[in-house]
Amino acid sequence: MLSGVWIPLITPFKDGRIDFASYRRLIEHYVAHGVSALFPLGTTGEAPTLDDDEVDEIVAATVEVAAGRLPTFVGVGGNDTRKVIKTLRRLERHDFAGIVSVCPYYSRPSQDGMRQHFSAIADATDRQILIYNIPYRTSVNLGNDTLLRLAERRNIVGVKDSSGSIAQSLELLATKPAGFSVLTGEDGLYFTMMCNGADGGILAAAHLATERFVEIGRLIAANDLAAARATWSSLRSFIPKLFQEANPMPIKHCLWRQGLIASPECRLPLTSISGGLAQELDSWLATAKAA
């Protein structure tokens, strides 16, 4: 059963190249702060800007540093089913637990097309598969009926749910089968979804104040909702600032300010955050450090 707080790792860059010293430092940091799994090569990791060699290097470095202490789920998705399977087979020489695979974007397939897409991926591997449903990025929404059919497959074990519809998410939580994990990908709804039975969250915002996100999950599991709500209140107003400009630019700025990465650099077409947002984030970091 997949659960807890997962980190969709950023990819640190310096002078145009991956900064592996910073990357390894980040992984050690999150291992020490009690997260449940690592997810490299997602959108937060700027995966579309990485070439094949860099993808292989990121997977190898993640598995090496995690060293069995945390499971690694690698982002392997796309809108060409054959290419997704080819990439997965290329990466399977690395010892990672599974993949997070986004719904096919841009081409806007039907529900049956998405069902066949994920079924083909499941047939091609023994690794665990977590489906990633995020319509505002892909322009297609994987319906609950289709998802629950896919959940019948042995190695499709969960979903990163960023459907954008609270009604759809709550219906999924009410109807999901035993052993199928629902991890919210909506950072601002983490508390709400956990209170309604989600198994955890894959949260870009948890790059920061990581221990608070982990603690919220622990408190809700212990049915201490008052304490969980109090902890959540310290994060609620900050989370939107991390997505006020394109992710992961604000997160990289904060990690840089904290000394966890050497540079806030992103790859084009992403650039850097505005001066106004930088001041707001710096103020929050100073307050959080003093607290």
* Helix and strand totals (H; E) in the chain: 13, 10
CA distance 73 to 156: 13
Question: Does residue 136 carry a catalytic annotation?
Answer: no
Q: At what angle do helices 81-91 and 52-66 cross, to 10 degrees?
A: 50
Report the amino acid identity of residue 114.
Answer: M
Catalytic residue among 23, 83, 105, 132: 132
| Cα diameter, the chain | 53
| Beta pairing, strands 13-14 & 98-102 | unpaired
Hey, how many other C-beta atoms are within 10 angstroms of the C-beta on 192? 15
The answer to whether residues 6 and 183 touch, using CB atoms and an 8 Å cutoff, is: yes
Question: Does residue 23 carry a catalytic annotation?
Answer: no
Buried b (16+ CB within 10 A) or exposed e, 81-107: beebbebbeebbebebbbbbbbbbbee
Catalytic residue among 23, 83, 105, 160: 160
Burial class (CB in 10 A: 0-12, 13-18, 19+), 232: buried
The number of residues making up the chain comes to 291
**3-state SS class at 66:** helix
- Catalytic residue IDs: 132, 160
